[in-house]
Chain A
């Protein structure tokens, strides 16, 4: 199908499956691997678009379900889409909205036609179809839009997983058909198939035939064992076309990002950094600081030494302790810091790939975070070993 993006791979890691690339979208270039902050309702948690740009963010997420409810399709059409609506001139990605139907609404029922649910407004029955989702996403005008998929929890087993996989393929066809602006908006397919390698393989085979501009790995980050999670990711990146961007949905913890980049993933998103910020938790390379704790009362250091965000350049932990979770400024500052942290992490990863020292970066990253090798999570060690990085012995060989 038609594509409105350019995918230029700049460098490939000589050890792992990681790559550095430039993804050129209608609203400008995106340096990959990339973490995309989530602005669910058309705003990133109290941070102005200028501040988001200032952090170096090139692409942000919006949520189709939420924007469809408020401000609604009519108003989005009236103002010319979500970019104008929120004053954001860089790229946007929207998900299909199907996931929210299932997760947020108790009485959602999935049929071949679509997702049926009770309107949160008047309780009447409503139906979200692939066609409706495409229509909403066309109104939003996101640079990347996601197909409506049949979502099942990654803990589900049995025939329901296979049913969801096949239905997602059929819905992809309907999405492609209903997509009105393939010249300016890119539609990504979402690979389903649960934790079953056979189903994943089949799904990839079928979806690759549809030749969408990019692909996402869906149905993960839902509470499955991490050792199963990474194996599915790695299997998918092996089978997916390498000349297109690969997006792993809902992944955002720093260690997951480092591992998944090594496994060949290019794009990520997660609400975690901004959500946890509002509860006073600041992310650093040595772990999370819960700034609500009294031990920060007399800690006159910035959140993280060397961080150039406005929170770290202006304030000490001691002052932040007095305002986090109490003043909105406290929330904004930690949200800005956490977003800056995520984006800096991705920049560092990308630079190390371009300079072909990503394995060394991985060693340092985990040493900073866990200090002791005995503390390294087993799944991380296993996952990285599968791409030739031995966390336990490898750093000695390199030294």
Chain B
């Protein structure tokens, strides 16, 4: 059995009138060392269950204590039905059932399992809506409807430390004839109310099931009624058809139900439940959702997902974060102070500071990830008087001037044999091992080590930022330092999603070559066909490989850019 705890520290000596606080979220269990996240802190952002670019060993160089995994990204099409096949090869006794932490090799971190990507890129690809009986997931294999019953089965098999209760997020897009790309749709008041109601209903059902009670009784009753109706109709049809001959018996539908019942008796109270609070852009609904959710004692933490606000925000970049934070504030006011709150969609350092001042405890690491994808290396520092590391640097977008990061695609770094940040302890910077010049070279040659090094640095600096924020809350300097930060570093320039011109040029040049190499490699894969089957001469493999390398010495085959086929696919998401 593992147990969840969230302890707030007494910072009353710090005498701040802000709501910023420090605490520790911890999971203690008999068979494992205690795992914890110091707050304000982060659950790491992941894609398909991996923190982008970081292999497990490199991931362990980071100090974030938790990771957020999106169910929609890792759920296979035949799950939960195929969970019986889940076995853990690393477990001491064979046939041991695998948890999601085992599957993703994240046992030493606190694993939070939610449904959706906490930092989706615009525009959403999802075009379907949730109903009373299911939520829509956007899986790697396409849209999928997830029922509460399946959700419960998944939770029982995944056994994450913390799970988000099934909730009705409004992440809808519309497609009009004139505008073929899906765009955001402002939800109606009716839809927002429904979202709050459904989320509360599902939350109650989830909490019932968690206690080992039948939370599905009502749903099944309705389902049974429907089925009876269907069967009656079917019988009537059959009776008609019977005139023409024998009819096939419809298979009994009871089996499913019995299987469902078998699960119900098992409580899963060692899994902590976090609940989403809903309400979108409607203040009264936000309040209702927060108040009602807060009344459920079993809920140990709250998630405020601001991604569904996008359609209702103003067009001006400078105003948007203020609007988002105002909605967050509305929810926070009605949530119990002793429990942790997590926010999605608030990620830049200055927004994090504002949210922390309101009493938000938990964030994700999508900010360092997005910097990395753009080729940016962070320079911002919390608590410094001036941006010592760099003066204002114009970036490719000529109007944007920032001192919070550098874009290593910029040619000016090509001869800079110095670390991204002096004194930084990340793998790249430490001992000046990997210089700005080297990372610029890696980007230009489209080598994947570039994002590995950048991600390491950006994640390290983000965690350092949080740890300095915690210190400042404890020693009473938070307010002053937060103000100082915005004076020195301003606000994050709007990300237009535009690629650096150097990146565009490099990618265009490699495009043709990649296509040729990928076509060639297809041939190799076909020839190999998985494990070389017994009896298949390996020379066949060589032939294909040699065709692939077009009669070159394989050692000297041009390598540049081959990786991009895969990388670009990943980026296109």
Contact = CB atoms under 8 A, between A and B. Distances in A.
A75 B437 contact: yes
A214 B49 CA distance: 48
Indicate the member of B86, B536, B539, B554 with the most A CB atoms within 10 Å. Answer: B554
B532 A287 contact: yes
Interface SS of B by simple majority: loop
B82 interface: yes
B525 A279 contact: yes
Given A78-B415, A272-B545, A300-B86, A329 B569 contact: no
B551 interface: yes
B76 A297 contact: yes
Contact of B557 (A75, A271, A332, A372): A271
Given A329-B52, A377-B539, A46 B563 contact: yes
Interface in B553-573: 553-560, 562-563, 565-567, 569-570
Interface stretch (A47-55, A161-169, A196-204): A47-55
B53 interface: yes
Interface string A179-200: 0000000000000000000000
Interface string B87-130: 11110000000100001110000000000000000000000000
A249 B553 contact: yes
Contact of B556 (A41, A44, A95, A301): A95
B417 interface: yes
Chain A contact-residue range equals: 35 or more
B560 A41 contact: yes
Contacts of B453: 48
Interface string B440-481: 011011011101110000000000000000000000000000
Contacts of B90: 313
Contacts of B449: 43-48
Nearest to B98: A300
B140 interface: yes
Contact of A315 (B86, B105, B415): B105
B225 interface: no
B52 A71 contact: no
Contacts of B535: 370-372, 374-375
A244 interface: no
A323 to B, nearest CB: 6
A327 B47 contact: yes
B531 A289 contact: yes
Contacts of A86: 434, 438
B178 interface: no
B245 interface: no
A222 B558 CA distance: 14
Nearest to B532: A287
Interface stretch (A11-19, A97-105, A205-213): A97-105
Contacts of A2: none
A125 interface: no
Interface core residue of A66, A276, A330, A374 (most chain B CB under 10 Å)? A276
A87 B433 contact: yes
Given A66-B560, A325-B566, A329-B55, A75 B414 contact: yes
Contacts of A63: 556, 559
Contacts of A85: 435, 437-438, 441
A379 B556 contact: no
Contact of A288 (B451, B531, B565): B531
Contacts of A330: 50, 566
B140 A103 contact: no
Contacts of B538: 253, 255, 369-370, 377
Interface in A256-287: 269-272, 275-276, 278-281, 284, 286-287
Contacts of B54: 329
A329 B50 contact: yes
A103 B566 contact: no
A24 interface: no
Contacts of A46: 447-449, 452, 563
B151 interface: no
Given A297-B76, A331-B448, A322 B559 contact: no
B534 interface: yes
B444 A336 contact: no
Contacts of B444: 70
A319 interface: yes
Contacts of B58: 48, 51
Contacts of A87: 433-434, 438
Contacts of B76: 297, 322
B90 to A, nearest CB: 8
B566 A250 contact: no
A328 B556 contact: no
Interface in B43-84: 47-58, 74, 76, 82
A292 interface: yes
A333 interface: yes
Contacts of B415: 75, 78
B417 A41 contact: no
Nearest to B441: A71
Contacts of A47: 449
B437 A328 contact: no
B56 A78 contact: no
Contacts of A382: none
A386 interface: no
A103 B437 contact: no
Given A276-B524, A329-B52, A371-B534, A310 B559 contact: no
Contact of B537 (A276, A281, A326, A377): A377
A29 interface: no
B542 A226 contact: yes
A352 interface: no
B521 interface: yes
Interface in B156-206: none
Q: Which of B47, B53, B449, B521 has the most CB of A within 10 A?
A: B449
Contact of B552 (A45, A222, A316): A222
B113 to A, nearest CB: 15
A61 interface: yes
B491 interface: no
A295 B90 CA distance: 21
A314 interface: yes
A133 B121 CA distance: 47
Nearest to B88: A300
A68 interface: no
Contacts of B427: 48, 50
A123 interface: no
Nearest to A120: B509
Nearest to B555: A250
Interface string A296-315: 01101110000000100111
Nearest to A102: B552
Given A40-B559, A322-B74, A369 B532 contact: yes
B535 to A, nearest CB: 4
Contact of B435 (A43, A79, A377): A79
A42 interface: yes
Given A226-B542, A315-B105, A375-B536, A323 B48 contact: yes
Contacts of B55: 51, 310, 329, 332-333, 336
Interface of A: 38, 40-51, 54, 61, 63, 66, 70-71, 75, 78-79, 85-87, 95, 99-100, 103-104, 153, 155, 220-223, 226, 249-253, 255, 269-272, 275-276, 278-281, 284, 286-290, 292-293, 295, 297-298, 300-302, 310, 313-316, 318-319, 322-323, 325-333, 336, 369-372, 374-375, 377, 379
Given A288-B541, A329-B51, A329-B54, 20 more contacts: A40-B560, A43-B442, A47-B449, A66-B560, A95-B556, A221-B546, A270-B555, A271-B554, A272-B545, A278-B566, A281-B524, A302-B89, A310-B55, A310-B57, A315-B105, A327-B50, A331-B448, A336-B55, A370-B535, A377-B537
6 contacts: A43-B449, A44-B449, A45-B448, A54-B57, A99-B552, A298-B82
Q: When A and B form their complex, which 6 residue pairs have the shortest distance between CB atoms, in order from nearest?
A: A287-B532, A250-B553, A46-B448, A250-B555, A40-B559, A314-B105
